[in-house]
């Protein structure tokens, strides 16, 4: 009986060794499969990078808020209200891609310059386009 168990174990071992190359050959990658895997991996990385770039386009403020264009517009307008020189000016604030555009009428050049300075000093603002005109306040 011991001989039969040994024979059975040897036969199983021989069977396992003799079929391994066949299984490995049937599962071996082809150059075309390798190319497809590489292309799919590259596409996934590119897509992930684009998603990450979009998610981080709007940075976080010092208080942890997301600095969207709308956030920046609101923040600049609020700073204008708090600024004594700008308080009674007629200034419209628009923001696109963190670039603030100022439109409206102010009473003199000092107010116009102060508006640019305040807007530039606002967190998240990359630049300011000042289209303010000097003239009588039409509020």
What are the boundaries of each domain within the chain? 2-57, 69-134
Kindly state the tokens that stand for 130: 């000042």
* Distance separating alpha carbons of residues 90 and 131, to the nearest angstrom: 12
Six token digits for residue 69: 């264009």
Contact 102, 123 (CB under 8 A): no
Which residues does the chain have with pLDDT short of 70?
1-31, 33-35, 37-39, 42, 45-59, 61, 63, 137-139
Enumerate helices (H) and strands (E) in the chain, giving the number of each: 4, 3
Instruction: Count other C-beta atoms under 10 Å from residue 67's C-beta.
Output: 20
Question: What pTM did the predictor assign?
Answer: 0.56
Give the phi and the psi of residue 128 in degrees, each rounded to 5. Answer: -130, 135
Residues contacting 131, CB < 8 A, separation 6+: 101, 102, 103
pLDDT digits (tens, 9 = 90+) for 96-121: 999 999 999 999 999 999 999 999 99
- Say which CATH topology domain 69-134 has: 3.30.1340
Share of the chain above pLDDT 70, in %: 55
pLDDT of residue 1: 45
């Amino acid at each position: 009986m011991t001989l039969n168990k040994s024979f059975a174990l040897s036969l199983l071992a021989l069977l396992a060794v003799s079929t391994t190359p066949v299984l490995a050959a049937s599962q071996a990658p082809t150059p075309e499969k390798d190319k497809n895997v590489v292309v799919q991996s590259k596409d996934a990385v590119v897509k992930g990078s684009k998603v990450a770039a979009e998610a981080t386009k709007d940075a976080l403020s010092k208080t942890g808020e997301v600095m969207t264009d709308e956030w920046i517009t609101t923040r600049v307008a609020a700073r204008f209200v708090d600024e004594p020189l700008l308080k009674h000016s007629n200034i419209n604030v628009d923001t696109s891609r963190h670039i603030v555009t100022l439109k409206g009428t102010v009473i003199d050049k000092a107010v116009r310059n102060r508006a640019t300075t305040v807007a530039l000093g606002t967190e998240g603002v990359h630049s300011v386009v000042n289209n303010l005109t000097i003239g009588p306040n039409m509020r």
